[in-house]
Amino acid sequence: MNRLKDAASPYLLQHRDNPVDWWEWSEEAFAEAKASRRPVLLSVGYAACHWCHVMAHESFEDPATAAVMNELFVNIKVDREERPDIDHVYMNALHSLGEQGGWPLTMFLDSDGAPFWGGTYFPPEARYGRPGFVSVLRQLATVHKQDPDRIRRNADAIRGALQQSLADPGGQAVPEPDLDGIAHGIARRFDRDHGGLGGAPKFPNPGLIELLWRHAARSGDDDSRQMVNRTLTQMARGGIHDHLGGGFARYAVDERWLVPHFEKMLYDNAQLLPLYALEAQRSGDPLLFEAAEGIVAWLRRDMLLPEGAFAASLDADSEGEEGKFYVWTVSELVELLGPDDAALFARHYDVEPGGNWEGHAILNRLETPDPGSDDAKRLAALRQRLLEQRARRIPPGRDDKILADWNGLAIAALARSAGLLARPDWLDLASRAFHFVSESMADGDGLAHSYRQGRRIVPGFALDHAAMADAALALHDATGLRHYFDAAAAWSRHLDRHYRTQNSGLLRMTRADSAALPVIPQPSHDDAVPNANGLHATNLLRIAAQTGRAEDRTHADRFIAILLAAASRAPMAHGSVLNAYDLARNGVEIVLAGEDRAAFRQAALAMPFLTTMLVDCPDPAGLPGDHPAAAYARQAGKGAAFICRHGRCLPPVTEPNRLAEAIASGW
């Protein structure tokens, strides 16, 4: 075993038996590089990454390759999910070299951590147009030893590019974004046949789907509505969707959503769940209801840990083969179901003798007929039989670390989808996960980032606090329990205190005092997860709506103004920021007042949450005197709801079933 034997990360533990003399990211590793005058080889990946496994099998498990690595480099292995700040900095460094990026990330650093060259996957011998890994190692080690000036020039150029990425996005006012125009532009880039952004590979891009959904709801624009519905429908029909076990894979490698990259991530499904719940409720399409319910079934069955929180991911591989756990053949179906039932299932799920992927069948409904009611019942029973049989296979590995940010996304999704689809059992799942993260992952007045088997990674990142604050606000809306709101407000203050920069006003990814990195990243754009800045802006708006304090709303508005300067340069990369602005510009406050307000709460929770902000008012005296609903609330009687927007309130709604009608017609 090497130094990874005591790591907390399941990904690092996958490499503990490598002959490579791996170090974890640490001051000691860089001290060793200085003392031995060797450069650093930094390898970044994650547990569910297929090509990370390929490079590990080909190179890191090979004694001859490991011997070269150990002789010429100090080798550091990083789990990108455990240390997203490290991954962000060095992925940006790779981009500055003109490379597209991806994982595994392979970077070469000097003994101060400054990157001077890098790449992603390297084969053991030259192929795919890429040089062989050992050849790269020897060449770079030679240059590092014989031409240190060249190494220094490269490092300085990359450092300059990284510093440039931190340029202040503010400093001047920008026009208000044209949300309608941006939505029209995004809709034009969506694939008319298959949904999603055109081309391959195809990612869900939930932030952009949400932006189009908001635009369609606000304006009635049919084009945006069709793009949202087409995307969610085709994903639900495609092979990216697990038709037996529920949940969605990370992305599809083709343009039709047929062939998934089989890893299944908590954060993807957490973001897709509320979108499916929203569109299922709007359209009434049972396919979309099933997709939402399938995500939660997957969370409950495969991802729920004894602690009550959710694991991070499921691997793409099992038994050393990508996708083996999920695919089928005709002969397997006949053996398990019998010829008649197998023929029915094959017809509806695209199972042909030659398969649709490498001789096997990825279950999908992209071009198969929709079943009638009788066949639908038979197919449901057959899916259950196949799911039970699949459970007997060797499953993909599960990364069972608990990440505060991804759990926050899942908790918020469960809490809001529970109200939309009247599933109180989903709310129970959300509250259990929240209880664990908020208590067992507490770090002073903040949060840890990761937890596994009693070990925590501290301090947490900005997204941990923003996502958990959002989760707390969703639970406060769903339950009215004050301690959830207090937690959201406390974590938001923690972000302002420890993560806001003075120069740009943006949130850093990590605390300034916690990262020994060439730069401390402060991105505003979304990646596979929403950016902490966009989530924090939305949280500040919801907190201000609840408190009614003018200074809270001013604080939220000023923060959004800073973010809009960054978003104006790349709108499609800033979905979370633009969605926060939409809430500020078009959001409606629903004040729930009176002792018997529970029925009004349920009616409000069943409405689209994207542009509604619930204000719980158990005591009319609890609203500030200048709150527009304060005078009304004192006359609420046993229960009423008040709809307010931009300082103006409509007459009280006294019947819960009239709430949606009042919002639709009142403005």
Helix, strand counts (H, E) of the chain = 25, 21
Contact of 406 with 270, CB cutoff 8 Å: yes
Beta strands 40-45; 74-79: pairing state = parallel
pLDDT band at 520 (very low <50, low <70, confident <90, very high): confident
The Cα–Cα gap between 258 and 251 comes to 10
Residue 497 has pLDDT above 90, yes or no: yes
Beta strand ranges found along 259-409 (DSSP E): 260-261, 264-265, 313-314, 317-318, 321-322, 398-399, 402-403
Residue 539's pLDDT is what? 98
Give the per-residue pLDDT at 169. 54
Model pLDDT, residue 636: 67
Domains belonging to the chain, first-starting first, are 3-164 (3.40.30.10), 192-320 (1.50.10.20), 326-392 (no CATH), 434-580 (1.50.10.20), 587-665 (3.40.30)
* Whether the Cβ atoms of residue 88 and residue 508 lie closer than 8 Å to each other: no
192-240 pLDDT, tens digit each? 999 999 999 999 999 999 999 999 999 999 999 999 999 999 999 999 9
The helix-helix angle for 373-390 and 330-337 (nearest 10°) equals 100
Find the mean pLDDT for residues 546-560.
Answer: 94
Question: pLDDT class for 144, splitting at 50, 70, 90?
Answer: very high
Q: List, as own/partner pairs, every contact residues 287-293 make where C-beta atoms lie below 8 angstroms and the sequence separation is at least 24, other chains included.
A: 287/233, 287/236, 287/237, 288/232, 288/233, 288/236, 289/421, 290/236, 291/232, 291/235, 291/236, 291/241, 291/246, 292/417, 292/421, 293/246
pLDDT digits (tens, 9 = 90+) for 349-403: 999 999 999 999 999 999 999 999 999 999 999 999 999 999 999 999 999 999 9
pLDDT at position 190 over 90: yes
Q: Are 8 and 452 a contacting pair, CB within 8 Å?
A: yes
- d(Cα 655, Cα 667) in Å, to the nearest integer? 19
As a whole number of angstroms, the distance between CA 433 and CA 439 comes to: 10
For residue range 455-477, list pLDDT tens digits in order: 999 999 999 999 999 999 999 99
Average pLDDT over residues 588-603: 91
Task: Characterize the bridge pairing of strands 313-314 and 264-265.
Answer: antiparallel
- Tell me, what's the pLDDT at 518? 83
User: In the structure, what pLDDT confidence band is assigned to residue 630 with cuts at 50, 70 and 90?
Assistant: confident
**Mean pLDDT for the stretch of residues 591-605:** 91
State residue 574's pLDDT score: 97
The pTM of this model reads 0.95
**Greater pLDDT, 203 or 128:** 203
User: What's the confidence (pLDDT) of residue 22?
Assistant: 98
The answer to whether the beta carbons of residues 398 and 14 sit under 8 Å apart is no
CA atoms of 311 and 653, how far apart (whole Å): 42
Q: How far is Cα 409 from Cα 485, in angstroms, rounded to an integer? A: 16
Residue 637: the pLDDT is 73
Span 408-420, average pLDDT: 98
Over range 16-33, report the average pLDDT. 96
Is 500 in a helix, a strand, or coil?
strand
Q: In 3D, which of 587, 586, 591, 589 has the Cα closest to residue 601?
A: 591
pLDDT at 166: 66
The pLDDT value given to residue 472: 98
User: pLDDT at residue 631 above 80?
Assistant: no
DSSP state of 172: S
pLDDT in tens, 392-408: 999 999 999 999 999 99
- Residue 643 pairs in a beta bridge with 590
Question: In the predicted model, is pLDDT for residue 601 greater than 80?
Answer: yes
Task: Look at residue 515 and tell me whether its pLDDT is greater than 80.
Answer: no
Task: Give the model's confidence band at 647: pLDDT under 50 very low, under 70 low, under 90 confident, else very high.
Answer: confident
Percentage with pLDDT > 70 across the chain: 97
Beta strands in 363-506 (DSSP E): 398-399, 402-403, 442-443, 446-447, 450-452, 455-457
286-295 pLDDT tens trace: 999 999 999 9
pLDDT given for residue 581 in this prediction: 97
Chain position carrying tokens 């038709």: 243
Examine the pLDDT at 621 and tell me if it is beyond 80: no
* Residue 374: both structure tokens together: 């009788």
**Residue 516 pLDDT > 70:** yes
CA dihedral of residues 347, 349, 350, 351 (deg, nearest 10): -80
The answer to whether the beta carbons of residues 394 and 317 sit under 8 Å apart is no
User: Cβ distance 563 to 533 under 8 Å?
Assistant: yes
State the pLDDT at residue 51: 92
Rounded mean pLDDT, 436-463 = 96
What is the band of 667 on the pLDDT scale with cuts at 50, 70, 90?
A: low
Indicate the DSSP class of residue 57. Answer: I
Average pLDDT, the chain: 93
Name the residue with tokens 């990330």: 105
pLDDT value for 519: 85
Bond prior to 104 in cis (omega within 30° of 0): yes
**Is cis: bond before 201, omega within 30 of 0?**
yes
| pLDDT reported for residue 503 | 80
- Rounded to 5°, angle at Cα 437 from 436 and 440: 65
Q: Which residue has the higher pLDDT, 343 or 522?
A: 343
pLDDT of residue 627: 74
